[in-house]
Structure 1
Amino acid sequence: MELQLDHLDAFVTAVDRGTFEAAARELSVTPSAVSLRIKALEERVGRILLLRTKPITTTESGETILRLARAVRLLGQDAALELHAADGLAPAAPATIPVVVNADSLATWILPVFAEVAAHHPVAFDLSREDQDHSVQLLRDGTVMAAVTSSREPVQGCTVQPLGSMRYRPTASPAFAARWLSGGRATEFATAPVVVFDRKDDLQDAYLRRRGVDPAAPPRHHVPASADFAVAVGLGLGWGMLPDAQAARAVADGTLVVLDETGSVDVPLYWQQWRLHSRLLDVVARAVVSGARRELHGQGTTGAR
């Protein structure tokens, strides 16, 4: 199956930008030219690849071609870098690498890693935020090339490297703990308000079940942003499972307290990436693994945020 590079480029650009019009602006062509290139690609493949919705979505066949198109684009950027370097020229335009990362990693350890990579290599990161238990779907459908995930089972066509674990502890403000949980009894957790990240966050529920408490019993506040989640706990809105990397300083200065020193939950994280021989993608992988091993704990039990 011989596919033209400009057809693949139009396809991936349309998916990323969401409309033919936006893709046309990026490619400096007309929307009709984008549409014709994608139609020609579909005819060549013999499948419908896109649903003309707003934003554009891919079909199951489109997911396969999207992975191919992203791989071809990245390998082309790798080659351009090598050729520029061989000729003593400045680096080519940065290569865009789409990565999905869980919220707590974004809020704590991984952004400095990406910043260090971008400071020394022509890379632009297109970051998606998704719960580590659900991020593998973005690998499967071709949306991203790499993921920080809690899944140790490799997605088809991907490699997996262990990163270490984020350690979470049940935490609250001193005033909240004194008001709601001063006796240290499990029954108190049935009435003490709890802060939950979103409907996929099982960390607090898992801890309650370990204490013999029905997770549906206490009132809950949903705060779907990692930094705001920590602020909400600090303000006394409720108790919550906070990662050590986020809470350690506040615990040390007494603005937060750990409710149960034996109640930690370790969430193992893994780096999954496409099985693709790309110098730039490998640079990112090495930096992520190195940074994680400096900042995270050893492997532990499973959790979910």
Structure 2
Amino acid sequence: MSNLGSSVLDATAAAGKLRVGFLGLGIMGSPMAQNLIKSGYQPSPQEVAAFCDVTFAMLADPESALDVSTGENGAASGLGPGKGYVDVSTVDGATSKLISARIKDTGALFLEAPVSGSKKPAEDGQLIFLTAGDKALYERVAPLLDIMGKSKFYLGEVGNGAAMKLVVNMIMGSMMASFSEGLLLSEKVGLDPSILVQVVSQGAISAPMYSLKGPSMIQSLYPTAFPLKHQQKDLRLALGLAETVSQPTPIAAAANELYKVAKSHGLSDQDFSAVIESLKSKLQHS
């Protein structure tokens, strides 16, 4: 099994005396767990799933999510009736359904709850939860989701939360690729790209991502909030989702190729805004 950080929290607040575990204390998981701790939940070094009433998992990819939940000594082996497992990882629907089936075989409840938001929203408790699965578990953990996020959506059956997250990240990845093209083109024709960021940020196509990422991108700096390798993974999964329903996604497919080029240039662990470097390399060789 993956050697991943974990935390156990005693919940005595609005959630009603729940013991809450958190598996996966990385860029996203750590600040999410910290927000629970700040609200009165104290960590304890215990076997997480067996000890806790509800266990959250925030893993990097479908393989890790499966391993931690259903692998040897996985969370499922510590679950049973009365317990709940909330997977906030970004995975494909098929993986989420596999995890759900294994969790429910134990008698526990399952909720998929991938989040929209990166490092800063996680630190600020401003994530958006896209949930699906057992409605009873959703209602049980709603106070916890409210601590870690600014909004939550219940989308029905398992797979819908995963699908919504992939669509959102597909759009985000394509937006960043297009933004990168614009920054480079403005500079190439003699404009000040920092002024472009201001213009874009005040118009109809304004998005917080542009004003947040633009200044550092102009300086070729990419402090990691959402690793590029994860953005490319989500684009790959979104393209696979589109394939299952024969939906054309030519823009996302083109963007995916740019992220793959960026990965080949050693930028996997940089922020996903480093995709602009893949366009610079194309320009340098044109």
TM-score normalised by structure 1 residue count: 0.30
Larger strand share, 1 or 2: 1
TM-score normalised by structure 2 residue count: 0.32
- Structure number with greater Rg is 1
